[in-house]
Amino acid sequence: MRDDNLLVPALFFKHTGTYVDWNEQYQSVVFRAKDKYFALLIGKNYTDDLNRATGQWTRGTLATHTLDFGGEPFVPLVDVARKLGMDVRYDQTLRRTFITTNLPVQRNQIIRARTNEKLVALTFDDGPDDHYTPMILDILKEKGVPATFFVVGQQINAHPDMMRRIVNEGHGIANHTWSHPNLRNQWSSAVRNEIVSTQQELQRVVGRRPDIFRAPYGITTKADIAILNELGMRNIFWSVDTLDWSGLSADEILKIVRRDISPGGIILQHNYNPHANILDGTVEALPRIIDELRAQGYRFVTVQTLLDSQQ
């Protein structure tokens, strides 16, 4: 609170579908939504508003000053929401402020395919690398199973030959950002750059630009989803989380798969981790997962094929 006004992190407004960016030159936060475009300078109690039709700027006032708290810009909640044209209501009983966004964002989240066929997609995040990825590829090749690799741009740049091997052996590929940040904590322009830079690197290395994406940690805001929609990217989650990143054993991973598998399922695993031996259970569990699900009548496909099968 400041001067009886509630201040929130500027990035909070990404949850309403608003694009939020930082202007380093002017030390200001820029908000953009529909026909609204305005900037709040840190430490000031005014806004600079752009009329996008005329290109003219005008200055408005705020109820209190913006501030920098621990290196993060905080802005007055009610003032910014109202400037964005949103409905703001305070509930005296609950002692909470409710904001109704006026920015509809088309839903974009696929957890599993809508199919009754016994189809399943194996997915691997965070690679490629030169340790776990070749072991996983060897198993997939031996078993004759396709998978989908959600790749990180900086890892592609570090291991282009492994990236080419993934494609040459018939596996699906998908975008998993350039540097694996939590998108919720990124300015909107940085989110777009994370995705586009990875697309460009994939084009350079393997000549492909997939339309499939998975956010690091599965975390997005409405503004991030709006960017994905603009870029024509489908946002893929998962229906089976093996939790292999935590160093689980093969038996523990297999137990999770048995419990959660269903037709159209998407299994989340990883093929890179900077900590030694963390994904040993992933490699050991993989052939057992394949054999057991095949015995149950499941057929392994890429995420792209899985989505194409939806009924």
How far CA 33 is from CA of 27, 143, 222, 225, 298, in Å, comes to 20, 49, 12, 14, 45
Please give the pLDDT value at position 40: 97
- Chain centroid offset of residue 104 CA: 19
Is the separation of the CB atoms in 266 and 150 below 8 Å?
no
Residue 311: pLDDT over 80: no
Prior bond to 128 cis, omega within 30?
A: yes
Question: pTM to 2 decimals?
Answer: 0.94
Element (H, E) at 289: helix 280-295
Helix (H, G, I), strand (E, B) or coil at 83: helix
> For the segment 68-112, what is each residue's pLDDT rounded down to a tens digit?
999 999 999 999 999 999 998 888 888 888 889 988 889 999 999
Tokens 């909070």 belong to residue? 12
Residues identified as active-site:
125, 270
Pick the CATH number of 7-100 from 3.30.2130.10, 3.30.2350.10, 3.40.50.300, 3.30.457.10: 3.30.457.10
Domain ranges of the chain: 7-100, 119-308
Q: Average pLDDT, whole number, for the chain?
A: 96
Average of per-residue pLDDT across 18-47: 96
Rounded to an integer, what distance in angstroms lies between the CA atom of residue 301 and that of residue 145? 8
Is the separation of the CB atoms in 228 and 195 below 8 Å?
yes
Q: What is the 3-state secondary structure (H, E, C) of 219-235?
A: CCCHHHHHHHHHHCCEE
Sequence-ordered alpha helix ranges (H) in 67-131: 77-83
The Cβ of residue 209 has, within 10 Å, a number of other Cβ atoms equal to: 16
Please give the pLDDT value at position 3: 59
Confidence tier at 195 by pLDDT (50, 70, 90): very high
For 236-282, the DSSP string reads B--SEE--GGGT--HHHHHHHHHHH--TTEEEEEES--SSTTTTHHH
> For the segment 266-284, what is each residue's pLDDT rounded down to a tens digit?
999 999 999 999 999 999 9
Please give the pLDDT value at position 97: 85
> For the segment 241-270, what is each residue's pLDDT rounded down to a tens digit?
999 999 999 999 999 999 999 999 999 999
- Report whether CATH 3.20.20.370 matches the domain 119-308: yes
